[in-house]
Amino acid sequence: MNAVRIGLQLLVVITGLFLTLLILMHKGKGGGLSDMFGGGMSSTLGGSSVAERNLDRFTVGVALVWFTCIVGIGVIDRFI
């Protein structure tokens, strides 16, 4: 079981770093702290593009893998 735990921990680190990269790739929606300090550029966004929707789906998928690994490590620590 030690190899499974190490594998899950490695997967958590890799997916965590990749998830950070994916989140940073998202387009800003405005209304946050950057707008308060003058960093917000107002533009009319009619809708999200196909690439943005696919990025959203991919980010959610990676986040689910990350969350599943966290739960798996918790189960291994708790019962084994």
In a domain, 65, yes or no: yes
Whether residue 42 has pLDDT greater than 80: no
Structural domains in the chain (count) = 1
Asked if the structure places residue 6 within a domain, the reply is yes
Mean pLDDT score of the chain: 86
pLDDT at 64: 98
Domain span at 74: 1-22+51-80
Q: Which residues contact 73 (CB under 8 A, 6 or more apart)?
A: 5, 8, 9, 12
Residue 11 in any domain: the answer is yes
Residue 43 domain flag: no
- Given this model, what pLDDT does residue 43 score? 53
Percent of the chain surpassing pLDDT 70: 78
Summarize the confidence of residues 27-49 as an average pLDDT. 62
* Domain assignment present for 38: no
Is position 45 within any domain? Answer: no
Task: Give tens-digit pLDDT for 3-28.
Answer: 999 999 999 999 999 999 999 998 87
Whether residue 61 lies inside any domain: the answer is yes
Which helix (DSSP H) or strand (DSSP E) does residue 63 occupy? helix 50-79
